[in-house]
Amino acid sequence: MSSPIRVAVTGARGRMGSEAVAAVQAAPDLELVAALGRGDDRAAAEGADVLVDLTVPDQVMDNLEWALARGMHVVTGTTGWTEERLAQLGSWQAASRRPDGRPANVLVATNFGLGPVLIMVLAAKVAKFFESAEIVEMHHPAKVDAPSGSAIRTAKIIAAARAEAGLGPGPDATTQELPGARGAVVDGIHVHAVRSRGLTAHQEVVFGGPGEILTLRDDTFDRSAYMPGLLIGIRQVASRPGVTVGLEHYLDLD
Amino acid sequence: MSSPIRVAVTGARGRMGSEAVAAVQAAPDLELVAALGRGDDRAAAEGADVLVDLTVPDQVMDNLEWALARGMHVVTGTTGWTEERLAQLGSWQAASRRPDGRPANVLVATNFGLGPVLIMVLAAKVAKFFESAEIVEMHHPAKVDAPSGSAIRTAKIIAAARAEAGLGPGPDATTQELPGARGAVVDGIHVHAVRSRGLTAHQEVVFGGPGEILTLRDDTFDRSAYMPGLLIGIRQVASRPGVTVGLEHYLDLD
Amino acid sequence: MSSPIRVAVTGARGRMGSEAVAAVQAAPDLELVAALGRGDDRAAAEGADVLVDLTVPDQVMDNLEWALARGMHVVTGTTGWTEERLAQLGSWQAASRRPDGRPANVLVATNFGLGPVLIMVLAAKVAKFFESAEIVEMHHPAKVDAPSGSAIRTAKIIAAARAEAGLGPGPDATTQELPGARGAVVDGIHVHAVRSRGLTAHQEVVFGGPGEILTLRDDTFDRSAYMPGLLIGIRQVASRPGVTVGLEHYLDLD
Amino acid sequence: MSSPIRVAVTGARGRMGSEAVAAVQAAPDLELVAALGRGDDRAAAEGADVLVDLTVPDQVMDNLEWALARGMHVVTGTTGWTEERLAQLGSWQAASRRPDGRPANVLVATNFGLGPVLIMVLAAKVAKFFESAEIVEMHHPAKVDAPSGSAIRTAKIIAAARAEAGLGPGPDATTQELPGARGAVVDGIHVHAVRSRGLTAHQEVVFGGPGEILTLRDDTFDRSAYMPGLLIGIRQVASRPGVTVGLEHYLDLD
């Protein structure tokens, strides 16, 4: 058996971070070398193979610069990425050096849930086969945005796949509509957002053709759902050159 | 065994009508005495116990006046009922006489689907127990109205039950909404309308409380779905005095 | 405003008990007077209007005898009820005296989830309308029994309603079956049990007639789902004479 | 615009065949040159680019030999394929000659439904990511086999993907089971078969990991569902060399 991957976590006292620390500790092929919160000395993380950053937008850049300067691979689930930030990250990555002289690698993923990521990838693959496509997402009532960012991204992916296949708008004879009944329209795709006590995060993509419906549905019940995807990131970052944006690129679904 | 109920059908060559004729013929306790289309002589229907009218708004009043004047019970699924029409119908019914000297009875039902009717009745019963309630209806893309009339009625029923129980609006922190994402709002209840090739008529009512969801769902795939409800109407109209509006009153769900 | 209902909880340090203590404390019309664990002195509970017992079978009888001897109403969610135990409970209840001279009341409920209880009540009401009825229950993979007790009770309730309506077995032409494919058969109703990581406790009752399906579905995600039902019990026990077995009798669904 | 593809249909008076004839006639890029039933003279089909065979096992081989001997491409949805028959078909195909001197091509597909085929392909892709996987298929009550052939194939595909990924059996603590509750077991995958009036053909694949569920669902409501897949076969057979078994190989999902 090969030696374990040495992992340091920043943002380790946050909700995602503490879950990540536990997941790394529970994995026999991973070794936790440091679990750092805001203000902790990063020296403890030196010598890690992979830095897992689960902090906030005002800390992530500093952590990633520090880690890449030391030749660590980086996996981050922190949000707030702009073109400018990604460009900066790219230059740090290009200048980084592993002990073997090659650059370190980076995975930037704003969603480590396998379900939501798979829904997007699968939807992109099948969209061209169906005349109709709509999205119903359902979330807890404390959510402030509707539709969810994930549903918007899924709609855009479906719209792009339809355009590439030469599909026009889906059939819809609606002429009498109570305002909002047909949902929000994202690049031509209708998206409906349900909010209810009891729900967490759920998404249903409904594809329809003559005489048939294909439904892809994801239910995320709690934060533990993000751990399998995070572990895939940690285990694979060493073999995925460069800066990768989006967990889907690590899933080998093509 | 008692003698069969003698049934005449008007509108017998329409889509609902021909389905009804077949259903009456297949029922061992019913006897079809006449199946009349537009322009056919109604004399053939004389002596029926029950007239089933499945015509159109410009024929129904004439048929019902004729039947009640002859002391027949009436079951009608024709649409277009107004307060005025119902009042007229009420006066004909009150003046009607069965062979036993009592008035004939009338069932007016614009939906004979057991599923949609049961969803409304059940939703009314359970609404008071849940903080949240939303409706997602899904129909074929040739439908011109959104949401469906059935979904609007269900929303109103839920809203009334919530008001009676002293429930305010469901929790919803949405502050950033793409227009339409949260659906149409009917008496405070959010209603979402999906349109897709492959669908027929489907409705889902989602109730939510802390840690749980209760879902009531109806799928109607074709016109045969209306026959069990129509047969209930035919079999029970003799024992339900007066004019009844809505199949739900024949279902004894209380 | 009337004075709050004074509530004592036994089994207060268990998982259900601690959740119940928090729910009582959060309710403006309830006052927590004692939260007792195993070995705590029950004197602190004297003067409560309602004892909520959430202990275990070897403690519950002693607690209920004690409370009823002091004229407290009792709500218990503890399991292990036999005919003999219920008879004993009945005699204690009959002998109990409230300050007004009438006996105290008791609610015994082994499931305080509104969803599961409502599914049973609604299924009993609608079963007579459909030729077919099957149950699919889905639970977490640590569950040792299949199907769930709740699904078995629901199947029995449906079977009884079908028998009362004179319905025979549902249509089923299966002649080539891989063993188990058609599920377990409980009083003639087919029940299927799915076990999967990620699930908690879910039940779907599928009713089918020509051209239509009616589905009743309950999803329970965590223990908080039992609190609304428990609070209904606490609030209503004073006005429900005698010993009541089953939360459904407090829900006024008829 | 290129000239239309010339299509002949054998088995044209059967249920699938008559649907296929209508679909070919409705497609602007296809031209129906012959619609043949049992006993009709096949001379009318000469000169077709593609023969669509929707007959029965005792006619298909004769039709395919005839068509390949004339250099026509073949798309067949007829069932009853054995290793021996496929070998015979392969030799006819290898010996066939198109006008350009290359062999004609063949598509053998026992299911032209895009939904069922896509479910299998997608399930194969995602199975490796989830600890648990179960199948619930739901069909009309006249079906004689349980589970459906499609569900069995899907289970085998999932089992193979799990084995390749080194996944053992899914977690399942069941020790008290009513016989059949946990379904049929196909290569370690539990498969549940619901039969109900009102249903047609439906399949749900439930994948579960910590805190999340991914569901793939297909609903087939009527035979029109097979036409989009059949048209894909007709349009692509000219560019897919050799004998292909399974529509999935024409869908370019990799």
Per residue in D12-58, pLDDT tens? 999 999 999 999 999 999 999 999 999 999 999 999 999 999 999 99
Q: Give contacts of A180 with chain B, Cβ < 8 Å.
A: 179-185
CATH of domain D5-108+224-250: 3.40.50.720
Rg of chain B, C-alpha, whole Å: 20
Cβ neighbours of D213 in B, within 8 Å: none
To probe the interface with C, which of B126, B205, B214 has the most C CB atoms within 10 Å?
A: B214
A216: nearest CB among D216, D222, D225 = D216
| Cross-chain residue pair C129–B119, CB shorter than 8 Å | no
Mutation test of the interface with chain B: which of D219, D223, D226, choosing the one with the most B Cβ atoms within 10 A? D219
Residue with tokens 């499931």: C111
Residue B1 has pLDDT above 80, yes or no: no
* B neighbours by CB contacts (3+ pairs under 8 Å): A, C, D
CA distances from B105 to B64, B95, C177, C191, D181 (A): 11, 11, 50, 42, 48
| DSSP state letters, A54-66 | ---HHHHHHHHHH
Q: Which of C139, C190, C192, C202 is catalytic?
A: C139
Q: How many other C-beta atoms are found inside a 10 Å radius of the C-beta of residue D148?
A: 21
Whether a cis peptide bond, with omega within 30° of 0, leads into A147 is yes
- Tell whether A221 is in a known binding site: no
pLDDT of residue C110: 87
* Cβ contact, residue pair C115, B228, below 8 Å: no
Select from C118, C143, C142 the least CA-distant residue to C205. Answer: C118
Task: Determine the average pLDDT of the residues in B50-69.
Answer: 97
Which residue in C217, C219, C224 is closest to B210 by CB distance?
Answer: C224
Residue D139 to chain B, least CA–CA distance (Å): 14
Q: Is A13 annotated as a binding residue?
A: yes
Residue % of chain D over a pLDDT of 70: 100
Q: How close does chain D come to B15, measured CA to CA in Å?
A: 19
Going by the annotation, the residues of the binding site of C are 11-16, 41-42, 77-79, 109-112, 140, 149-150
Chains interfacing with A (3 or more CB pairs < 8 Å): B, C, D
What is the set of active-site residues of D?
Answer: 139, 143
Yes or no: say if D239 and D233 are a contact pair by the CB < 8 Å rule: no
C190 is known as an active-site residue: no
- Cβ atoms of C131 and C207 within 8 Å: the answer is no
Contact B197 A171 (CB under 8 A): yes
CA C160/CA C167 separation, integer angstroms? 10
User: How, if at all, do strands B184-186 and B189-195 pair?
Assistant: antiparallel
Chain D residues touching A254 at Cβ < 8 A: 254
d(CA A10, CA D65): 68
CB D206 within 8 A of CB D151: no
Which candidate in C117, C212, C220, C253 is best for mutational testing of the B interface (most B CBs within 10 A)? C212
Give the gap in angstroms from C-alpha D151 to the nearest C-alpha of chain C. 11
- Pairing label, strands D73-76, D106-108: parallel
B-chain residues near D200 (CB < 8 A):
221
Q: Which residues of B touch A181 (CB under 8 A)?
A: 146-147, 180, 183-184, 191-193
| DSSP conformational letter for C227 | H
Determine, for residues A213 and D115 on separate chains, whether the beta-carbon distance falls below 8 Å: yes
Write out residues in chain A with pLDDT < 70, as ranges: 1
- Give D15 to chain C, closest Cα distance, Å: 20
Q: Are C225 and B214 a contacting pair at CB < 8 A?
A: no
How much is the pLDDT for D2? 78
Of D213, D214, D221, the CB nearest to A212: D221
Ligand-binding annotation for A79, yes or no, is: yes
The residues of B annotated with a catalytic role in the active site are: 139, 143
**How far is D134 from C201, CA to CA, in rounded Å?**
16
Mean pLDDT value across residues C136-148: 97
Taking contacts as CB-CB distances below 8 angstroms, the residues of chain A near C200 are 221
A110 min Cα distance to partner chain D (Å): 17
From A183, A193, A209, residue closest to B198, measured CB to CB: A209
Distance CA D247, CA A230 (A): 35
Testing the interface with D: which of C176, C196, C200 to mutate, by most D Cβ within 10 A? C196
- Report d(CA D68, CA D105) in Å as an integer: 9
Categorize the per-residue pLDDT at D1 as very low, low, confident or very high, splitting at 50, 70 and 90: low
Contact A225 D209 (CB under 8 A): yes
pLDDT tens for D104-115 read: 999 999 899 999
Query: At A224, phi and psi to the nearest 5?
Result: -60, -20
Q: Give per-residue pLDDT as tens, D91-132.
A: 999 999 999 999 999 999 989 999 999 999 999 999 999 999
Digit-coded pLDDT (tens) for D197-240: 999 999 999 999 999 999 999 999 999 999 999 999 999 999 99
pLDDT at B129 (0 to 100): 97
Interface test with D, best of C175, C178, C199, C216 (most D CBs within 10 A): C178
> What mean pLDDT is predicted for residues C21-49?
96
DSSP D32-63: EEEEE-TT--GGGGTT-SEEEE---HHHHHHH
Does the pLDDT of residue D88 top 70, yes or no? yes
What are residue A30's DSSP bridge partners?
Answer: A5
Interface of chain A against chain C, CB under 8 Å? 198, 200, 219, 221, 225
Q: Among candidates D107, D67, D92, D137, which has minimal Cα distance to D231?
A: D107
Distances in Å between the alpha carbon of D173 and those of C139, C143, D191, D221?
A: 11, 6, 17, 36
List of chain A residues whose C-beta atoms are within 8 Å of the C-beta of residue C225: 198
Shortest Cα distance from A158 to chain D (angstroms)?
Answer: 15
The mean of the pLDDT values for chain D is 96
Beta bridge partners of A192: A136
D135: left (phi over 0), alpha (psi -120 to 50) or beta: beta
Please answer whether residues C141 and C195 qualify as being in contact, where contact means their C-beta atoms are separated by less than 8 angstroms.
yes
Percent of chain C residues topping a pLDDT of 90: 96
Binding-site residues on chain B for chain D (CB distance < 8 A): 198, 200, 219, 221, 225
| Binding-site sequence positions of B for NADP(+) | 42
- What would be the CATH architecture of the domain defined by D114-221? 2-Layer Sandwich (3.30)
Distance CA D71, CA D223 (A): 30
In angstroms, rounded to a whole number, what is the distance separating the alpha carbons of residues B98 and B49?
Answer: 9
Task: Give the closest-approach CA distance of D119 to chain B in angstroms.
Answer: 17
In contact, B202 and B137? CB cutoff 8 Å: yes
* Cα C103 from Cα C105, distance rounded (Å): 7
A-chain CB neighbours of C221 within 8 Å are 198, 200, 221
Q: Is the pLDDT of residue B64 over 90?
A: yes
pLDDT on residue B2? 79
Of C175, C193, C209, the CB nearest to D197: C209
How far apart (Å, rounded) are the C-alpha atoms in residues A230 and A108?
11
CB contact under 8 A, A219 and C225: no
For A90-147, what is each residue's pLDDT tens digit? 999 999 999 999 999 999 998 999 999 999 999 999 999 999 999 999 999 999 999 9
For chain D, what percent of residues have pLDDT higher than 90? 96
**pLDDT for D110:** 87
Q: How confident is the model at residue B146 (pLDDT cuts 50, 70, 90)?
A: very high
Closest CA relative to residue C123, chosen from C222, C200, C191:
C191
pLDDT score at D254:
78
Of D115, D129, D212, the CB nearest to A221: D212
User: What was the pLDDT predicted at C52?
Assistant: 98
Task: Note whether C218 and B212 are within 8 A (CB).
Answer: yes
Residues of A with active-site annotation = 139, 143
Tens digits of residue pLDDT in B226-249 = 999 999 999 999 999 999 999 999
Residue D123, pLDDT score: 98
Nearest CA in chain B to A182: B193
**H or E segment at D135?**
strand D132-139
Report phi then psi at C203, rounded to 5. -145, 135
Residues in CB range of B15: below 8 A, 6 or more apart:
B223
Q: Do A212 and D225 touch (CB under 8 A)?
A: yes
String of b and e for C191-212 (b: at least 16 CB within 10 Å)?
bbbbbbbbbbbbbbbbbbbbbb
Q: Which residue has the tokens 């209904």?
A: C232
Domain residue extents for chain D: 5-108+224-250, 114-221
Q: How far is CA B233 from CA B13, B27, B207, B253, in A?
A: 20, 13, 30, 15
Backbone φ/ψ region at A183: left (φ over 0), alpha (ψ -120 to 50), beta: left
CB contact under 8 A, C224 and B213: no
Angle between helix B149-164 and helix B114-126 axes, rounded to 10 deg? 20
CA distance A170 to chain B (A): 8
The answer to whether the beta carbons of residues B128 and B108 sit under 8 Å apart is: no
For residue B231, which of B9, B3, B2 has the smallest C-alpha distance? Answer: B9
**Which has the higher per-residue pLDDT, C56 or D254?**
C56
